[in-house]
Amino acid sequence: MAETALDGVKVLECCQMISGPYCGKLLADLGADVIKVEEPPAGDAARTRGPFPGDAPHPEKSGLFLYLNTNKLGITLNLGTASGRQVFQRLAEQADVLIEDRPPGEMAKIGLDYASLSAINPRLIVTSITPFGQTGPYRDYKSYHLNLYHASGHSSFFYVAPRDRQEGSLVVAGGEVGDYDGGLSAAVATLAALFARLATGQGQHIDISKFEALLSLERVVVARFANTPDPPPWPGMVGGLMPCKDGHVVVTAVQSHQWQALTELMGNPAWAQDEKCRDEPTRAQHRDELQPLLEEWSVQHDKDELYHKGQALGVPIGPVRTVAEIMHWPQARQRGFFAHLDHPQAGRLEYPTAAYRMSETPWRVERAAPLLGEHNEQVYCGRLGYSPEQLAGMAADGTI
């Protein structure tokens, strides 16, 4: 019986920063054998991004890189050289999956696209992750998370009271969450392709658009505009992000029974019985008047007090927790969500693990993120059969 869900699945990851590496991480955490390919001499650009322990930049101590690359082997390989491309082809012959995030057409120029690689390995699944996909008028556009987040419409609707936002102001999600959404979509599609291959025996090309990954998460808002020409301004709601004594809570009491529960939580104030609070559309129309009254009440309480009392009454309410609070939250601690890992350069650090628990093929952490080129000998000599002398020659001529 397999010890991990993806036992025996071999993955090549030729990606930088977040989306591609996160896809590779999700597969590695499920037990896939993932080889991360980095361009010498600097490697993945994530190595230069913080946070760093003690705020001292170091290519082997980036918190971003360390998190995104657990459970992977790491090699260096220069795809800009003919010899490097030949070595990559040999790796692709043995692989089940290739994850790549180069601009559309770039892999074809160097003969490493799906059409070329599937000719030597018909079972290969190639997952290509780009900002806007392989087709369409924006296919060649470059983009940062900031651009994608705004292009997807996510920033046009946010649960913040209108008087706290300027007209037409936009909100950016922290932590480059949209890039993680792209990586998650890529992992789901890759798993589906592996499942399909069980029936067909054939690999396929997966075209991931990070823009569409974000767009698919805004289904309600997008559908509203798609089906209503020139829709009126979004009325919003009473509630949303609200201040407390020790932080904030988010309240989304839009339905009648939810508003009634919120009214009970507030102690049935007289203003909540007003005609302006009759139903959701009416409350939305008078939000500028009602929101200050709601916040005047909420700021008198602690967020956990409102959370627990509100949940007991059926109010959709949740506390906004800081990262520091989450690290000590008993729910996450009791379930073992954080795990310690030793890294030869970064030392012993605590990492987030997985959002699932599997009874038969559990998630497990086997290794910290690789040092740059750490597994060159293990992969090139142990798997491809190169001699130590050949490996030294590859290093000398810039292949690795």
Q: Show me where the domains of the chain are located.
A: 10-217+361-396
Predicted TM-score (pTM) of the model is: 0.90
CB-side neighbour CA atoms (13 Å) of 85:
12
pLDDT for residue 162: 47
pLDDT for residue 220: 67
| Beta strand pairing call for 72-76 and 33-38 | parallel
- Structurally, what CATH architecture does the domain formed by 10-217+361-396 represent? 3-Layer(aba) Sandwich (3.40)
How far is Cα 287 from Cα 390, in angstroms, rounded to an integer?
A: 71
In the block, which residue shows the tokens 């949303």?
240
H/E element, 264: helix 256-265
Residues of the chain whose pLDDT is less than 70? 1, 155-173, 219-221, 224-225, 229, 231-236
pLDDT for residue 106: 97
How far is Cα 377 from Cα 389, in angstroms, rounded to an integer?
A: 11
- The distance of Cα 260 from the centroid of its chain, to the nearest Å, equals 36
User: How many other CB atoms are found less than 10 A from the CB of residue 218?
Assistant: 16
How far is Cα 49 from Cα 120, in angstroms, rounded to an integer?
A: 37
- The distance of Cα 254 from the centroid of its chain, to the nearest Å, equals 29
pLDDT 10s digits, 72-121: 999 999 999 999 999 999 999 999 999 999 999 999 999 999 999 999 99
Whether the Cβ atoms of residue 375 and residue 74 lie closer than 8 Å to each other: yes
